[in-house]
Amino acid sequence: MSRTFQIPIPAEGQSPITFPNRCVSCGAPRQAESTLQINRLVQRGKQQVQVSAKYPVPHCERCARSTKAVFLAGCIPYVLGFLLVGGLAFIVITFGASLLGLDEYGQPNNANSLILGAAVGLVAGLVGGFIFELGARIVLLPVFGRALLQAPLLASQFVNDSDYVAGLKAKPDPKTTQIQLTFTNDEIASEFQALNAARLIPAGSGVR
């Protein structure tokens, strides 16, 4: 069973969030590190602020490798799908609209067809990436097994701004002052709880 904690994102200069000194996924001795990364633009008062946070997460060699492999297994088909489907839609729509005379409206030499093509291409690309990643996942499942099933799809990670490494999922709250950490390994979750007891925000305290 997985366990979830809510913890404030430490400001710069504050001591970072502490992870147990062994693999967060399987509990083996620490041999490597994987990085959880949060990047987000948030509105603070009148300003847009870029909030980025990086957390080095202890992994054993095997889980660190599997994190990279799972990421690539999602990323490569996603990018391919985005380029192929998005690119094709862009070309078809841009030329189609141009042939149909869309560029003859409004100012001379304007590029209505190009704008329409780019907009449709972007949407088609996002959908294409999602479909290709899903397809690759079905094909690769026998190779990767459980590690792949546990990882959220990239498309959903983009939507949530969440990040994932083997055994741990991170998702910032809408204001990006707190982060939600979900551990798949119960034992590691308990150790994490003990290490960060002073900082954890009790579940359901309604801090938003």
Gap between the Cα atoms of 157 and 164, Å rounded = 8
- For Zn ion, which residue of 5, 19, 25, 181 counts as binding (CB under 5 A)? 25
Residue window 36-75: x/- pattern of binding to Zn ion, with contact defined by CB under 5 A: ------------------------x--x------------
Which of 34/94 has CB closer to Zn ion? Answer: 34
Sign (positive/negative) of CA torsion 100, 106, 109, 113?
Answer: negative
Of 15-23, 112-120, 123-131, 185-193: span binding Zn ion (CB under 5 A): 15-23
Which of 61/104 has CB closer to Zn ion? Answer: 61
Q: What residues form DSSP beta bridges with 8?
A: 178
Gap between the Cα atoms of 163 and 39, Å rounded = 10
Residue 26 near Zn ion by CB under 5 A: yes
CB of 63 to Zn ion, least distance (A): 3
Gap between the Cα atoms of 116 and 98, Å rounded = 10
The alpha-carbon radius of gyration of the chain (Å, integer) is 22
Of 17-25, 30-38, 94-102, 181-189: span binding Zn ion (CB under 5 A): 17-25
Would you state the structure tokens that stand for residue 168, as one six-digit string? 């741990």
Residue 113 near Zn ion by CB under 5 A: no
Residue 32 near Zn ion by CB under 5 A: no
Which of 94/184 has CB closer to Zn ion? Answer: 184
Size of the site for Zn ion (CB under 5 A): 6
Which of 29/135 has CB closer to Zn ion? Answer: 29
Q: Encode 70-139 in three state secondary structure.
A: HHHHHHHHHHHHHHHHHHHHHHHHHHHHHHCCHHHCCCCCCCHHHHHHHHHHHHHHHHHHHHHHHHHHHH
- For Zn ion, which residue of 3, 7, 28, 96 counts as binding (CB under 5 A)? 28
Site residues (CB under 5 A) for Zn ion?
23, 25-26, 28, 60, 63
